[in-house]
Amino acid sequence: MKTILLTNDDGYFSAGIQSLKEYLSEDYNVYIAAPDKERSAVSMALTINRPLRIQKIREKEYAVDGTPVDCVNVALQKILPRRPDMVVSGLNLGENLSEDIFFSGTVGAAFSAYLYDIPALAVSLISDKLSLSNGKFNIEDGVKITGRILRQLLELPEIRVVYNVNIPYQCNGKIVVTAPGNKRYKPEIIEKTDPRGQNYYWIGTGNPISRGGKNTDVWAVKNGFVSISPLKYDLTNLKIMKKIAGRFDEI
């Protein structure tokens, strides 16, 4: 039986990860190592200025008082008895499209597995509304679709790859392979004053603008498709690399 490590950035008690664990446990040996509370938008942050605490909730399930990447590192080195066949980060309650991959703790956890040469799947659910505070998420369909995708990916030999999946609320069940589209943020900075007269600032998301032609993740979810984008770690701009070659001293 193959072993799956589940993590997320919504926290151990999120309905997304708990429902996914229950569903996948029918076919796989499933472990959870997830943050003890929400750690959204922390990307690949590591906790290096204090010790980490691990709480065993029940058999094969652990809550860590750190980031999603902390959870993956601790699980792989101190918790799991063997190397997992796949790390699955999710189900995240909220989209991770396009430029979100640079901020997302969900995707960050998946890339942490990538550094261990373990294939990883980051899965996010898109709500029925723009607002996460009052939107609904289709967790029931999400776990089933994740199971379908996981079965296919476990048959592949590739290890240095992260698969970023986004599942729309109204989903037609079809899965399309996409490239990241374009999603630009202009965060709203809210300034207020605390009871001691000091200014403080709250960073919001503002109203991000998403664009993308056919075969991008933005296009896919807008048209009711499940989007799966294969990602790699190399961000080298080869065009600029060639352009500046020879302008600097090279060894």
pLDDT tens digits for range 220-229? 999 999 999 9
How confident is the prediction for the chain on average, in pLDDT? 92
Over residues 88-98, the pLDDT tens digits come to 999 999 999 99
Please say whether the structural domain 3-182+212-244 has been given the CATH code 3.40.50.2300.
no
pLDDT given at position 207: 73
- Flag whether pLDDT at 251 surpasses 70: no
Distance CA 70, CA 44 (A): 9
Distance CA 68, CA 76 (A): 13
Contact of 164 with 101, CB cutoff 8 Å:
yes
Distance CA 107, CA 104 (A): 5
Instruction: Using a pLDDT cut of 70, give the percent of the chain over it.
Output: 96
- Flag whether pLDDT at 77 surpasses 70: yes
Q: Is 244 exposed, middle or buried (0-12, 13-18, 19+ CB in 10 A)?
A: exposed
The neighbouring-strand residues paired with 63 are 34, 55
Contact of 220 with 213, CB cutoff 8 Å:
no
Distance CA 7, CA 84 (A): 12
- Selection from 209, 204, 222 nearest residue 182 by Cα: 209
Cβ contacts of 134 within 8 Å, gap of 6 or more: none
Instruction: Using a pLDDT cut of 90, give the percent of the chain over it.
Output: 74
**Strands 3-7 and 54-58: what pairing?**
unpaired
Q: Which of 56-65, 185-194, 228-237 has the lowest mean pLDDT?
A: 185-194
- Flag whether pLDDT at 82 surpasses 80: yes
Three-state SS annotation for 158-219? CCCCEEEEEECCCCCCCEEECECCEEECCCCEEEEECCCCCEEEEECCCCCEEECCCCEHHH
Q: Which of 28-32, 49-53, 103-107, 179-183 has the lowest mean pLDDT?
A: 179-183
pLDDT band (50, 70, 90) for residue 210: confident
Return the amino acid letter for 224: G
**More confidently predicted of 199 and 204:** 199
- Flag whether pLDDT at 191 surpasses 60: yes
pLDDT band (50, 70, 90) for residue 165: very high
**More confidently predicted of 71 and 235:** 71
